[in-house]
Amino acid sequence: MGARQAFGTFCSHRPTNLFARISRLKISLITVCYNSAATLEDAIQSVMAQSYPNIEHIIVDGGSTDDTASILKKYDGRVAKIVSEPDDGIYDAMNKGICLATGDAIGFLNSDDFYASNDVIEKLVKAFTKEADMVIGDVAFVDRHNVRERLRFVSGSGFKPWMLRFGWMPPHPATFIRKKIYDDFGHYKIDFTIAADYDFCVRSLMRGNLRTVYTSEVLVIMRDGGASTGGWKSTLVISREILRALRENRIYSNPLFVWSRLPVKFFLQKMFVRRSKGRTPNA
């Protein structure tokens, strides 16, 4: 598989000046979807409700067969760019969004997720004024059918690039990256099933010496049950793909390193459930 096929189409667009005044920093938010009629409107409205004015929302639909098309038609003219056509999977759709993006920084909002508050983008833009290449926040997982029930919490606090050797990565939906980083390090490899975002982190963070900033905020509320949260089957797939990404990028690790993350995650999840019993997310 050639580089063009693996990484998707590269774009010639270059971002605007990242050292411009804060009010002029443009943020591109990309939502990819397929048959997401049940939740897509929540994602769209959470973007439209943001207090920060300079946002470009791009929706890439894989040619849905449910009512997604009617929702997209409803918001035509209010969403910056909408593409609806067959694709080669979620990472191919994400690459299409990156190519369409004209912002200084890019974030991904899944079609069944939504922002935790109306000032999420405003807060992360302030973090980008510190000349960060990547801003990392926190994510709260909620029950798909009851978004007021928190299930677990994933924090980007304390993340360091060396942790990638052990299979850890910052929460992708709460990670915002300068457009130039995608131009420099390439897009997502479309032959990964679940872990192309992890592979991108290995490429950019372990080999690129990027500047990261953590903002101690829950940025995104995620409904449980996505591709990377689908039980032991997805855990096995993602662990294999993590090892592949490390091997292909010539970063030393081993299966014991990667599998050691699982009991830690299980312990942290149990601790969170115990502490957050009775609380509700900021939704």
Alpha helix (H) ranges present in the chain?
A: 3-7, 40-48, 68-74, 90-100, 120-128, 179-185, 196-201, 207-208, 232-248, 255-259, 261-275
Burial of 118-156, coded b for 16+ CB within 10 Å and e otherwise, reads ebbbebbbbbbeeebbbbbbbbbbbebeebeebbbbbbb
What is d(CA 7, CA 249) in angstroms, rounded to the nearest whole number? 14
Query: Which helix or strand (DSSP H or E) is residue 152 part of?
Result: strand 146-154
Phi–psi pair at 50, nearest 5 degrees: -65, 140
Please state which architecture CATH assigns to domain 24-275. Answer: Alpha-Beta Complex (3.90)
For residue 42, the tally of other CB atoms under 10 A from its CB is 18
CB-hemisphere CA count at 13 Å for 8? Answer: 26
Q: What is the pLDDT of residues 67-119, one digit of tens each?
A: 999 999 999 999 999 999 999 999 999 999 999 999 999 999 999 999 999 99
CB 49 within 8 A of CB 118: yes
What is d(CA 201, CA 178) in angstroms, rounded to the nearest whole number? 13
Q: How confident is the model at residue 131 (pLDDT cuts 50, 70, 90)?
A: confident
Longest dimension (CA), the chain: 51
Phi–psi pair at 103, nearest 5 degrees: -80, 170
Domain borders along the chain are 24-275
Q: DSSP class of residue 202?
A: I
Q: What is the pLDDT of residues 22-78, one digit of tens each?
A: 568 999 999 999 999 999 999 999 999 999 999 999 999 999 999 999 999 999 999
For residue 188, the tally of other CB atoms under 10 A from its CB is 23
The whole-model pTM stands at 0.84
Q: What is the pLDDT of residues 237-257, one digit of tens each?
A: 999 999 999 999 999 998 998
DSSP string computed for 16-59: PPTTS-GGG--EEEEEEESS-TTTHHHHHHHHHT-S-S-EEEEE
